[in-house]
Amino acid sequence: MTRVGARFRQQEAANTAVPGCTMRFRLTRQPTAPMEARRRIRPELEQLGYVEDVVDELLVAVGEAVTNAVLYGGGSGADPITITLRTDDAACTIDVTSRSAGWTLYPPVLPAPTAERGRGLYIIDRFTDGWEIRQGRNGSTLSLRRRLPARAAPS
């Protein structure tokens, strides 16, 4: 698989309409948020035609992104995490947005086996075709991107 690679970018996050949006929902910042995000996104990924292994990889990546938002999302516990799934002609993009704009960004490297944390971006980098983090005064968005599966030829 050719990997687009990880991209770090800090810019102002704009509030704009989301073209090709197939779903958007909010979750409370609590420990069950990653599980709820995976539960709600799975049917959409399956409907897009991803095979089970790819669905599972994307759900692991989404779980890591939502976990980061729960742990480092800033604001009060009442500030929601917003999940947006959108598609274009080539790919599916899943955005995970939280209120905090102060994340410290580290390269996605595998930490020591005894490290208790630090695997999230490494896992996201392995299970997506590309990702980016946008930070601005309205919060942070971690976008995960995966190419759409090839459509089967009509028989």
Residues 28-83 pLDDT 10s: 999 999 999 999 999 999 988 899 999 999 999 999 999 989 988 776 666 899 99
Q: Comparing 16 with 105, which gets the higher pLDDT?
A: 105
Report yes or no on 155 lying in a domain.
no
Report yes or no on 48 lying in a domain.
yes
Task: Please state the domain count of the chain.
Answer: 1
Report yes or no on 82 lying in a domain.
yes
Report yes or no on 60 lying in a domain.
yes
Residues 77-110 pLDDT 10s: 668 999 999 998 889 999 999 987 666 667 777 8
- pTM, two decimals, is 0.80
Q: Which domain holds residue 119?
A: 5-147
Report yes or no on 61 lying in a domain.
yes
For 12-36, what is the mean pLDDT? 73
The CA-atom distances, in angstroms, between 106 and each of 50, 70, 103, 119 are 30, 18, 9, 11
Q: What residue type is 97 in one-letter code? A: T
* pLDDT for the residue numbered 138: 80
Report yes or no on 152 lying in a domain.
no
Report yes or no on 153 lying in a domain.
no
Range in 11-15, 87-91, 104-108, 116-120 the model is least confident about: 11-15
Report yes or no on 89 lying in a domain.
yes
* pLDDT for the residue numbered 28: 92
Residue 135, domain CATH: 3.30.565.10
Other CB atoms within a 10 A radius of the CB of residue 75 amount to 12
